[in-house]
A and B are shown apart, each in its own frame.
Chain A
Amino acid sequence: MRPVIYILSFLALIALGFWAYRENYATQSTLKVVEGLQSDIASLREALAVQRAEWAYLNRPDRLRQLVDANFDRLGLMPMEPGQFGTAAAVAYPRVSLPKIAFTTTVQGTIIGEEGQ
């Protein structure tokens, strides 16, 4: 019985060694991938920061004001003024366009009163 246990545990030891060896290399390669990803993230982050800065720069109030002035005839934008506040009640309802009623049947009889009731 004892030799069998010895052989089995020896085999288990070899199996575990093999497993640890593979895991080690798998970890190493994953770490390499992670490193690559991290440098990608860093450069993307940097690009993002540059683009955000660029966006802020292009949208600086000075420039927008100049653009609004330059394109006044097309856009007609004016600074916001107190007079531009309105009330919801002052907004007109959209005009309802009713479909035309086409009579296909002949109606017999007389119409009383032009204006209707």
Chain B
Amino acid sequence: MRVPLRPLARILQARTEGQHPDRIEKENLRLRNEALHDKARGRAQFRLLVLCVTFVAAFGTIGLRMGLLAATEPAEPRSSAAGAEIAATRADINDRNGRILATNMTTYSLYAQPKVMVDPKGTAEKLAAIFPELDAKALERRFTDGRSFIWVRKVLSPEQMQLVYEIGDPGLLFGPREMRLYPNGTLAAHVLGGTTFGAEGVQSAEVIGVAGIEKALDARLRDPAEASTPLTLSLDLSLQATVEEVLGAGMTMLNAKGAAAILMDARTGEILAMASLPSFDPNDRPAPLTDKNAEPGDSPLFNRAVQGVYELGSTFKIFAAAQAIELGLVTPDSMVDTNSPMVWGKFKIKEFDDHNYGPQLSVSDVITLSSNVGIARVALMIGPLRQQAFLKSLGFFEPTAVELIEAPGARPLVPKKWPELTTITTSYGHGIAASPMHLAVAYAAIANGGVMITPTLLKREGATTGVRVMSETTSTEAIKMLRRVVVEGTATLGDVPGYEVAGKTGTADKPKASGGYYDDKVVNTFAAMFPASSPQYVLVVTLDEPLDTTMSEDRRTAGWTAVPVAAEIIRRVAPLMGLRPKLEPPATDAITAASN
């Protein structure tokens, strides 16, 4: 109720008392203002209180929730649907057609709690009877020395698990384990590498890659977000199996110590098959060599295709020839001096087996007959700097980028100084050492029309765009020369009817650890591409210390060893890739007769 500022009664009374009536009005105004003031203050205080309570409640809720989350046991969400990502801890590895190369299997590990064991001695004996590698005495000692926890075995087969069950001791317990399984055994072993257990707990253990792609792409394979999508490799299981089979047979027939082969798509850089022999079983990886005198190549774990850094011999000649054509210094028909021996300072450059190819040969013939002197002359025209730059652009100075943990360690050996003598030796592949993978990449660049590709073990869609290292014309000329090598040169055994194989042989003496070269130990290489009219695939075959004893004299040149093996690989592999041979049409009546 609004109080009047000048209540008549009080005014009249004030007047009679001779007081100023305005004072009453002032007094009332003051009271009214005070009341308003109090009201406003009260409201403001109330608002502050509400705000405070809200803040306290909000932060209190958050705090309580945090405390609750920290204090309670984690539980899986019950209502949301569990995806496959929970089921698999490490992604599978598939080949390009989805066939499994590596997968996981659930198995069990065996551990013991000796404190609750009823009969440690008897249990130890029974366990030793099941697992031959365990020693009953040692096991008993470990069971009785007061420990409370012992790992007995990392993985068990179901049969072994049943046998352990039958011992019936309460101190023997099983922990679930995800085990990596390579169903194809030794197939593509060097690509896959292998795994081991990392941190181990009773309920689970970490599976970590130890070599190959398992280690190189460990983070991707272990990523829980991608665990349900298998890693698709560029390898093709059928091609891989065929390459390994033929290469293995060739290695045995030619008494070689080791062998490697790489089959690559020249346009995309996808590696369709990569083999290194001798091989191993990634399910049961052998221990690395401990003998200090042993060469790394003696271990089956050594991946010759990627880690085998050797001088690759005459396979390098085509690079000098191609570069000279690219620079316009020569044409395939230009004649070069091939008088042998060529004297350079105090060195003599000779042909293989002290041949002499006459005073002059065309560049194309130099490649076909594999003349060291001829290519040395071509290389001298190019000069050290340009040669170095070209080889660098072909990737011979850096490790390959292939997705294997071993790849970055396989750095090519290149001469530190590059005088003209180095130019000469490098032109025929001596003094520079690279892996078969490097060679495959460089040959792919020639094969695909002059574009560098990045080799990959992962499936790729479409061709990659790389740096152009030579013109298409040069590439065509180089391929023509390489085709001549197979048709009439040093690799005639490499001709596969219908597939127009083009390639270059290389025979390099193995260097001794003490310096110098062995007389009777060679590394033979055949780098090929097919079909020559439009090369799609590159194949590099390397044999370590091969010896062809099928003839009266022992033969160690690539033309007799690596080339026939490569030819057989192409003959077997090309139909599998759906590559139709270019054959003369067979007589029609023969087919009619057959189909009738």
**A residues at B contact (CB < 8 Å):** 31, 34-35, 38, 41-42, 45-46, 49-50, 52-53, 56-57, 59-62, 65, 79-87, 90-92
Q: Are A61 and B574 in contact (CB under 8 A)?
A: no
Residues of B within 8 A of A86 (CB): 591
Q: Are B78 and A92 in contact (CB under 8 A)?
A: no
Complex-state Cα separation, A59 to B581, whole angstroms: 29
Besides A62-B185, A92-B592, 12 more A-B contacts (Cβ < 8 Å) are: A41-B82, A45-B84, A49-B105, A52-B100, A65-B241, A65-B245, A79-B242, A81-B571, A84-B575, A85-B583, A90-B586, A90-B588
Residues of B within 8 A of A62 (CB): 184-185, 187, 241
Within 8 Å by CB of B572, from A34, A42, A49, A80, lies: A80
Complex-state Cα separation, A21 to B70, whole angstroms: 30
Complex-state Cα separation, A65 to B572, whole angstroms: 14
Q: Are B183 and A53 in contact (CB under 8 A)?
A: yes
Q: Are A60 and B184 in contact (CB under 8 A)?
A: yes
**B residues at A contact (CB < 8 Å):** 78-79, 81-82, 84, 86-88, 99-100, 103-106, 181, 183-185, 187, 237-238, 241-242, 245, 496-499, 571-572, 574-576, 580-581, 583, 585-586, 588, 591-592, 595-596
Q: Are B575 and A82 in contact (CB under 8 A)?
A: yes
Q: Are A56 and B100 in contact (CB under 8 A)?
A: yes
Residues of A within 8 A of B497 (CB): 82
Within 8 Å by CB of A57, from B81, B106, B183, B583, lies: B183
Most A CB within 10 A of own CB, among B78, B86, B571: B78
Within 8 Å by CB of B82, from A38, A46, A79, lies: A38
Closest to B94 in A: A56
Consensus secondary structure, chain A interface:
helix
Q: Are B237 and A34 in contact (CB under 8 A)?
A: no
* Closest CB in chain A relative to B58 CB, distance in Å: 26
Complex-state Cα separation, A56 to B99, whole angstroms: 7
Residues of A within 8 A of B575 (CB): 80-82, 84-85
Q: Are A92 and B596 in contact (CB under 8 A)?
A: yes
Within 8 Å by CB of A82, from B86, B104, B583, lies: B583
Within 8 Å by CB of B183, from A38, A56, A84, lies: A56
Complex-state Cα separation, A61 to B241, whole angstroms: 6
Residues of A within 8 A of B183 (CB): 53, 56-57, 60
Q: Are A45 and B87 in contact (CB under 8 A)?
A: yes
* Closest CB in chain A relative to B82 CB, distance in Å: 5
Residues of A within 8 A of B106 (CB): 46, 49-50
Q: Are A53 and B187 in contact (CB under 8 A)?
A: no
Complex-state Cα separation, A28 to B138, whole angstroms: 53
